[in-house]
Structure 1
Amino acid sequence: MNWIILVIAGLFEVGFTTCLGKARATTGTDSYLWLGGFFVCLTLSMYLLYRATQTLPLGTAYAVWTGIGAVGTVIIGIIFFKEPADFWRLFFICTLIASIVGLKMVSAH
């Protein structure tokens, strides 16, 4: 169950980085709404990370949470913010995904 909580926390990390990017790209009321989404996602992400670390090893949980956030943010950047998707960028994202899966496989929980 705590692995599911950790994955959801990682998805909220993607949410807060996306909201941060959108807040930066907008002005006025839209910017404040995106900042509101940023704070909501940030709070939920941190709380869920805290909950997951109650039974999962802290180092593993943090690495997986960060990895989910990094991979998700890069994918959102490529799809929505038109960031480059060259070979080396995709290659290293794949190695990061492999590392996240590896950490899950060697974890005792």
Structure 2
Amino acid sequence: MTVSSQFVEITPRAREEVKRLVLAEGKPEIGLRLGVKGGGCSGLSYDLKFTPKEDKDTVIEEDGFKVFMDPKSLIYLKGMQLDFQDGLNGKGFVFKNPNASSTCGCGESFSIA
């Protein structure tokens, strides 16, 4: 299933970093897998990895690369913004999720009310 990139917003900085990482992998069939799994100090945590598409994935085509999301993660990710920051507090992807009722201090785990 292909959906609009309006489902999950990927900022220009995050897009550039994802494109750089996909290119470095050297495998054109892979994309960014954006998911949610149980764990972390708030109960749920984000899961990012570079993998090929799986059968039931929702696919977002985004500026020269693909984002894959499994059906179970979609309810937690809808409306989320993925950003990339490189500053004094560190370098990495940052998640801004309107569905999260609380997040941990590191921003990598969250809970839903």
Range class of TM-score, shorter chain: under 0.3
Task: Name which one, 1 or 2, has greater alpha-carbon Rg.
Answer: 1
- Per the normalisation by structure 1, the TM-score is 0.25
Q: More helix per residue: 1 or 2? A: 1
Higher strand share: 2
